[in-house]
Chain A
Amino acid sequence: MIGSGPIVIGQAAEFDYAGTQACKSLKEEGHEVVLINSNPATIMTDWNVADALYIEPLTPEFCERVIARERPDAVLPTLGGQTGLNLATELADRGVLETYGVRLLGTPLSAIRKAEDREEFRDLMRQIKEPVPESWIIESEAQLEAVLEVVPYPCIIRPAYTLGGTGGGIANTREELWETGRKGLKLSMRSQLMVERSLLGWKEVEYEVMRDSAGNCITVCNMENLDPMGVHTGDSIVVAPSQTLSDIEYHMLRTASLKIIQALGIEGGCNVQLAVNPDSFDYYVIEVNPRVSRSSALASKATGYPIARVAAKIAVGRTLDQIDNQVTGTTKACFEPALDYCVVKIPRWPFDKFATGDRNLFTQMKATGEVMAIDRTFESALMKAIRGLEVRSKDLRHPKTQAFTDEELRHAIGKPTDERLWALVEGLRRGWGVDEVNRLSRVDRWFLRKLAKLLAVEERLLAARTGSSEAVDALVSEAFLIGFPSVSIGALLGIDDDRLDPGFRAAAKGAIEAQKVLPVFKMVDTCAGEFESATPYYYGTFEDEDDAFAVASS
């Protein structure tokens, strides 16, 4: 097993999770695992996760020496992120695998190349009649210069073979294309990049799919990005499952994703990104990650389906119908999780540290981490995600966006940054309306209306400062139920605001204590309650029945 090395933006803790699961999974299958990884901060480099542990630099030279010493039967590269994949490719190219008679497990390298090489990928998509946006492959500055006049602006620049889309960006003018394009050529391991039609404003939807060597394919999860196309999915607020796709759209895209994984011949997990026209059935295939990725970790936690564990078993030849679904213990890994809750992911960006950093979000990922929240309503899940970020803003208020002039705000709504969520809310707060904020941001109205709903509660809490205390009780209870934490309710009611009437403040404080609603905890069970399950994976929600008690007392 090749690990993913140090944590960098675009390749974070998810590969420790994936790698640890994979090691366990392979040992379960009776294999002896040799692991190489340079990152000491991981569980996977623990004493007893692998059978033989090498904490050595992840360079082809050191990998070769490990292979020479351990003489493994096979290498599993698809669980170590882009680092693992690139290393395996290089070992194959240098003939190391052949010299030592090492098999490559999981997805064949040819499939990985097909997925990662833009031209090969596009050819394949054309063969299977899946639409890809118009694009140009550039391999030299001369070629770049040649297309400057041809390309439709704005266009997107995507360098091949880099981590998390490094060096990519959007160009609005020839000059920008020239500058970003040259940089991208340098950063690409293969000096290759793609310039393509911009699909700014289209919906971005992802499917996490799996395929085994027998050709069985399933979808683990689909996800809809709140941020429309143009922002790296690692920098997007993401919701699972999709919310604004009808059944036909959901399955049209699912079918396309499965067709792609089948055509590529992936053996394991794979992530397919699609752009969907918000006003028609048109869509384009944007990108495929032919391996376990950051999105896989998110999809695993969002559904309870252990993608890395299953991918490792597939790599050693198991088929989906032979692998147990650990969560239910009674069904097989060959099924598609059904969610009975809503999941919201928000990225965590480092701009609190890098105050001077460029906060604009493009196709190049900038987040160092992310939080996920689960609840039975979108509103509540979103509020949990926001307060879990541990940034200064704990709810929908943000001093910076609230201080914007209208002009600044309009700009902030239109241009994605780490603070755009609050800018969207502020636009609504200023009464611009869902349609106008949608026009500026292209964020789907469904999300904006949900924000407006939360905002309405915020506004009523603020207004209650001058109202009667009886009304406060009901309002506080309502605020709890829609997802406001008590600190936010207190702040909005002004319980610490000396200028307010002490009687009111005492009443408000009392209301928060009296109306405090305790959540019940429900189980993430992969099957929406259809099958009995004993996995103690819970999320809190304001509902009637508690799943956790039932398990604890049984």
Chain B
Amino acid sequence: MKPTVLVLGSGPIRIGQGIEFDYSCVHCIWALQELGYRAIIVNNNPETVSTDFDTGDGLYFEPVTLDDVMDVIAHENPIGVVVQFGGQTAINLAQGLHDRDVKILGTSESAIAAAEDRDLFERFMTKLGLPKPEGRAVRSLAQAEGVAGEIGYPVLVRPSFVLGGRAMEIVYDLDHLRAFYAEAEDANPGQPVLIDKYMLGKEAEVDVISDGVDTLVPGIMEHIERAGVHSGDSMAAYPAVTLSEAVQAQMVVAACRIARELGVKGLMNIQFVVEDDVAYVLEVNPRASRTVPYLSKVTGVPMVDLATRCMMGEKLRDLGYESGLWVLTGGPNPPAGPSHTPRAAGRILPEQAFVAGPVALPKPVVYAVKAPVFSFQKLRKVEPRLGPEMKSTGEILGIDNTYVAALYKALVASHIQFRGEGYVLMTVRDDDKPTGVAIARELVRNGKRLAATGGTHRALADARITAHRVNKIREGNPNLLDLILQGEVSLMINTPGTDRVAELEAAHIRRACIETGVPCVTSIDTAEAIAQAMELYADPSRAQVLRLQEYFTA
């Protein structure tokens, strides 16, 4: 009889742990079956493909808890358990399973712990000499105050071992820290709270596949919204659009080194923040992330299949890959081969080349932009502003052969469309005013009418941009709220400041947008993306419509 492998599913869909993990689990099962294993799954989510009775060789419809999983293990006696595709649900069981002498396939539970445990991670990064934002794990408010004081505000405060940035906040001063600390501590009782230097740079992330020796980087995704917006809530472009070749080289090198050092066998996700052309490592997750399906589809690299093979002991080199960055080359798609072969024409720029310094990257063949989708209309009293805590429920993908077309598709598919012919209403914080002015200019050039509140209006006027001035709520009637409720706003650009009183008002306005169906953008970077895509809004026929595979052959 075939050896049995147990794959742990990701449980119910929740914010931060969505359908992406089901995609990975299902692909893992298929890959295992192809490798000659009997692949069985434990999961309790009735909405998914992984719990379709003909997906695996055995479906155990049970809660994904240690007790229940151990019962299935006692029954099936699998050669090992796969925890890296089932999100935090499955990863959280790794230690317990290991303690009960269950073999964790792929990346070991100690490597998982090294990445998740703050102190271990700190030591690990120091050993590798890779840059990361200054920060520490603390276990009391007093410690937190000390650390924050030492590294300087603003700091990012968050609980450890929690997915989706729950109870995570950018803290600007001591009072704010005191007010917020308890929430972070409460989010995962008994676990330390992490205090990190908050760096307002570009964020980027990679999902890599490693066999413990070689590490393939299928692609680098650049976030459109800067640090401070949870990665799950930011738009992300593949390939990187503004990152320098030097920074991308640092990322490739860092990813390969981390994977090798941790002994990753399977998938790993690394989040970076870029400041002054240096890539700082924010987070390392030795498991499948939510970007895996997206990246698999836009790079043509069958990531989960490869990761599963690595997990089961195969070597990337034997599968036709090596360490380095995968780039698309265009041209005819490769003939259909075994499931681990790429679906699009490309080659690998080897790791060694990056170690030496920046490598000239070829002109991208496709551009793909992932955008989040929110469900704020369904959730009363939930504040729609983006922040370090994830709020989106789903995502869409825009793909095309030019960046702006991909961007446009992503915006439109995530329902960011001008609603009627009304004003684009702008109210942006001081930091954002220069960018705001540039955005406004682009909007006006494309025939949009603007409306703005006091400060923003002044900034626009200074730049000789005409805008209808509207009152803030506290300035009396009629104000911007009336404008929204009267249906005269086609799009709202509102970037929140740090002034608590102003923010309370802004929150009210954002909510009004949600209630009336006016798209509301809360990050200046998203707004900039809209400005960039204006020519497509004016003439959507400039976007192509092709079968997915056809984009790669251009």
Q: Could you tell me which A residues sit within 8 Å of B by CB distance? A: 5-10, 12-14, 16-17, 20-21, 38-43, 45-47, 52-59, 61-62, 65-66, 69, 164, 166-167, 183, 186-187, 294, 297-298, 300-302, 304, 306, 326-327, 345, 348, 350, 352-358, 364-366, 368-374, 384-385, 387-390, 394, 485-487, 518-519, 521, 524, 535-540, 546, 548-549, 552
CA distance in complex: A22, B527 (Å): 38
List B contacts of A355 (CB < 8 A): 183
CA distance in complex: A12, B48 (Å): 9
CA distance in complex: A525, B260 (Å): 46
Known: A38-B398, A371-B63, A384-B63. 6 other contacts (CB 8 A): A8-B378, A12-B47, A40-B397, A65-B545, A298-B47, A368-B14
A388 touches B65 (CB 8 A): yes
B46 touches A370 (CB 8 A): yes
List B contacts of A7 (CB < 8 A): 13, 18-19, 373, 393-395
Quick one: closest A residue to B336, CB to CB? A48
Q: Check A43/B547 contact, CB under 8 A, given A356-B381, A524-B61, A537-B59.
A: no
CA distance in complex: A372, B15 (Å): 18
Chain A nearest Cβ from B429, distance in angstroms: 22
List B contacts of A45 (CB < 8 A): 297, 548
B46 touches A345 (CB 8 A): yes
CA distance in complex: A45, B22 (Å): 13
Choose among A41, A54, A65 the residue with the greatest number of B CB atoms under 10 Å from its CB.
A41
Cβ of B68 under 8 Å from chain A = yes
A372 touches B61 (CB 8 A): yes
A6 touches B394 (CB 8 A): yes
Quick one: closest A residue to B75, CB to CB? A521
Q: Mark B377-408, 1 if CB is under 8 A from A, else 0.
A: 11111110000011101111111000000000
5 cross-chain pairs, A with B, having the tightest CB-CB distances, nearest first:
A369-B13, A7-B394, A388-B63, A6-B394, A57-B413
CA distance in complex: A62, B545 (Å): 7
List B contacts of A46 (CB < 8 A): 297
CA distance in complex: A485, B72 (Å): 14
CA distance in complex: A549, B74 (Å): 12
B52 touches A17 (CB 8 A): yes
Q: Could you tell me which B residues sit within 8 Å of A by CB distance? A: 1, 11-16, 18-20, 22-23, 26, 40, 44-49, 51-54, 56-68, 71-72, 74-76, 89, 164, 166, 183, 290, 293-294, 297-298, 343, 370, 373-375, 377-383, 389-391, 393-399, 409, 412-414, 515-517, 540, 545-549
Which of B293, B391, B546 is the one whose CB lies under 8 Å from A353? B391
List B contacts of A365 (CB < 8 A): 378
CA distance in complex: A483, B267 (Å): 36
Which of A14, A43, A302, A387 is the one whose CB lies under 8 Å from B26? A43
B12 touches A8 (CB 8 A): no
B297 touches A372 (CB 8 A): no
Quick one: closest B residue to A58, CB to CB? B413
A373 touches B44 (CB 8 A): yes
Chain B nearest Cβ from A105, distance in angstroms: 21
B293 touches A40 (CB 8 A): yes
List B contacts of A485 (CB < 8 A): 65, 67-68
Chain A nearest Cβ from B23, distance in angstroms: 6
List B contacts of A61 (CB < 8 A): 540
A164 touches B58 (CB 8 A): no
CA distance in complex: A13, B66 (Å): 25
Quick one: closest B residue to A21, CB to CB? B52
List A contacts of B47 (CB < 8 A): 12-14, 17, 294, 297-298, 369-370
B11 touches A390 (CB 8 A): yes
Q: Check A186/B413 contact, CB under 8 A, given A356-B381, A389-B12, A539-B60.
A: no
Quick one: closest B residue to A40, CB to CB? B397
List A contacts of B399 (CB < 8 A): 55
B389 touches A40 (CB 8 A): no
Choose among A53, A57, A186, A304 the residue with the greatest number of B CB atoms under 10 Å from its CB.
A57
List B contacts of A166 (CB < 8 A): 377-378
Q: Check A372/B46 contact, CB under 8 A, given A6-B395, A8-B375, A42-B19.
A: yes
Which of A12, A41, A58 is the one whose CB lies under 8 Å from B395? A41
List B contacts of A348 (CB < 8 A): 12-14
Q: Check A57/B398 contact, CB under 8 A, given A13-B13, A485-B67.
A: yes
List B contacts of A370 (CB < 8 A): 12-13, 45-47
CA distance in complex: A302, B381 (Å): 34
Q: Check A548/B63 contact, CB under 8 A, given A7-B19, A390-B11.
A: no
Choose among A6, A61, A355 the residue with the greatest number of B CB atoms under 10 Å from its CB.
A6
Choose among B61, B183, B298, B414 the residue with the greatest number of A CB atoms under 10 Å from its CB.
B61
Quick one: closest A residue to B344, CB to CB? A47
CA distance in complex: A297, B298 (Å): 29
Chain B nearest Cβ from A137, distance in angstroms: 21
B373 touches A366 (CB 8 A): no
CA distance in complex: A353, B290 (Å): 18
Which of B74, B293, B373, B547 is the one whose CB lies under 8 Å from A6? B373
List B contacts of A354 (CB < 8 A): 379, 382, 391
List A contacts of B381 (CB < 8 A): 356-358
A390 touches B89 (CB 8 A): yes
List B contacts of A368 (CB < 8 A): 12-15, 375, 393
